[in-house]
Amino acid sequence: AWSSSNGSSDDGVIEVAILDTGIDPDHPDLKANLKWGVSVIRGRISTSPKDYKDKNGHGTHVAGTVAALNNNIGVVGVAPAVEIYAIRVLGASGSGTYGDIILGIEQALLGPDGVLDSDGDGAVAGDPDDDSAEVISMSLSGSADLSSLHSAIVTAYGYGVVIVAASGNDGSAQPGYPAAYSEVIAVGATDSSDQVPWWSNRGVELTAPGVGVQSTYPDDTYNTLSGTSMATPHVSGVVALVQAARYNIYGGVLQPASVRSILHSTADDKGTQGYDTIYGYGIVRADRAVGAATS
């Protein structure tokens, strides 16, 4: 897919907000693509790198899968030229509150300038005059359905933001929240044999590699992790490739429903033919998705 799109967009318009434990701002495989960071832990908003710096490892690992540089060191992300936002909503332990996740979604919409729809034209995602994220990637999952969380997601979706979340690792028949909401792409995990492990929650929209995934880790290192958290950024990265390719050709991005339709029709259909609860529409395919978005 990189021959058509590497995530780089004219005007630098495509950004992926990673809501997680933060990102290591000095990692040589991430630094050039990390455009902004903010911590919202305990409701306190801070853009100081010491506050959004990853003190767990999870967020840095997720970020590398989306956007590690193609620079002959370490690993390469799905969208190695896309800009990313580090939005720290989870603490050093890897857990957090729904309140902080809601704040994180709001920050992803506002972007570095802190203004929603700064030119007042009603367009936010894909608007070169706005620095809101085009993609929100959430490798996190909880059991509670909170109306205020759903409301924040509906708002972001309405502004054209594609929202991707981990289905969870509980071995249950349904995704956790926020993945269970209809506006969110719920992602399950596959292994190197394209099998879905028992722990990957069912009822997903798409699947992606989530077992033994190597990626960036704090203090200039790399680590191999497994989980639907590792599958999610593969899908977020593909969405970034699709939107960047689309923007570069047509000067605008696709609405979330159109992006999802492309991901469904171009996925590698596994399991029962068509949609099934184990694989969803199948394993995400970057090459086919970018081709469909630009044809």
The residues annotated as belonging to the active site are 20, 58, 229
- Token digits of residue 126: 């894909």
> What are the residues facing 268 on neighbouring strands?
283
Task: Give the sheet arrangement for strand 162-166, strand by strand.
Answer: 34-39, 83-88, 15-20, 135-138, 162-166, 184-190, 206-209
The H or E element that residue 118 is part of is none
> What are the residues facing 152 on neighbouring strands?
none
The H or E element that residue 237 is part of is helix 228-250
What are the DSSP E strand ranges found in 60-122? Answer: 83-88
Are the CB atoms for 223 and 57 separated by under 8 Å? yes
Are the CB atoms for 167 and 179 separated by under 8 Å? yes
Cα gap 249→295, rounded to integer Å? 10
Dihedral (CA of 6, 259, 109, 87) sign? negative
Residue type, 144: A
Dihedral (CA of 90, 162, 211, 180) sign? positive
Helices (H), 68-141: 98-110
